Amino acid sequence: MDFNFQPSVPRDFNKQPALISGEESLQFSNYEYLVIKDEVFEIRFRYLGGPFKEVIVTENLLAVGYQDNFYLYDRIDENALLVLPLKGYFGSLHFHEERFYVCDMESLYCIEKSGKVLWQSNSFAVDGVIIESFTPERIMVQAELDPPGGWKDFILNKKTGEILKI
């Protein structure tokens, strides 16, 4: 899927961009636009918070990790389902078995397509979490404990986010 983050609305776009960061974000002076084909989405944010940006489109849902937030937006109902502030910065985004998994600087979140946060793991990293793989019951991750380069393997319970093995 082709997408682009850019500082302004494309010149040939004649509609109002859809605000995916929620009405309360209108008070923020920082903004960027996400362009996906002929759709434009506005993201407003308080602070610049990280280099990673990721987008997943599934059915009617738009999932976006950007700066220090995760956004889940219903493209049909034009409604922000979830604006989730993250710890430190957004790291990565995965969609597995009808759920979104969001990594931030310290932990991992599991989110339903409705926007309900099923669980958030305890903080177990200092500077990043990377999902390596999924099994039916577990999530294999790496966490940076001693930057730069001090990565360690962890196993989390897929249903609860509990750390099973360090």
CATH code of the domain containing 50: 2.40.128.630
With H, G, I as helix, E, B as strand and everything else as coil, classify residue 76: coil
50: confidence class by pLDDT, cuts 50, 70, 90? confident
Q: Return the bridge partners of 73, or none.
A: 62, 80
**Mean predicted confidence (pLDDT) in 41-66:** 94
Cβ atoms within 10 Å of 48's Cβ, excluding its own: 11
Checking 104-110 for CB contacts under 8 A at 24+ apart, the result is 104/68, 104/129, 105/129, 108/139, 108/141, 108/156, 108/161, 109/70, 109/84, 109/161, 110/158, 110/161
Q: Compute and round to an integer the Cα radius of gyration of the chain.
A: 16
pTM (2 decimals)? Answer: 0.95
CA distance 37 to 161: 35
Given this model, what pLDDT does residue 110 score?
99
Q: Calculate what percentage of the chain has a pLDDT beyond 90.
A: 95
Q: Return the bridge partners of 144, or none.
A: 151
Q: What are the tens digits of pLDDT across the range 97-143?
A: 999 999 999 999 999 999 999 999 999 999 999 999 999 999 999 99
Provide the domain count of the chain.
1
CA distance 146 to 138: 24
Tell me the residue range of the domain where 109 lies: 4-165
**Mean predicted confidence (pLDDT) in 1-20:** 95
Given this model, what pLDDT does residue 39 score?
97
Q: How far is CA 101 from the centre of its chain?
A: 8
Task: Output the DSSP codes for 82-97.
Answer: EEEE-SSSEEEEEEET
Q: Calculate what percentage of the chain has a pLDDT beyond 70.
A: 100
Following CA atoms 110, 112, 115, 117 in sequence, which dihedral angle do they give, to the nearest 10 degrees? Answer: -40
47: confidence class by pLDDT, cuts 50, 70, 90? confident
146: confidence class by pLDDT, cuts 50, 70, 90? very high
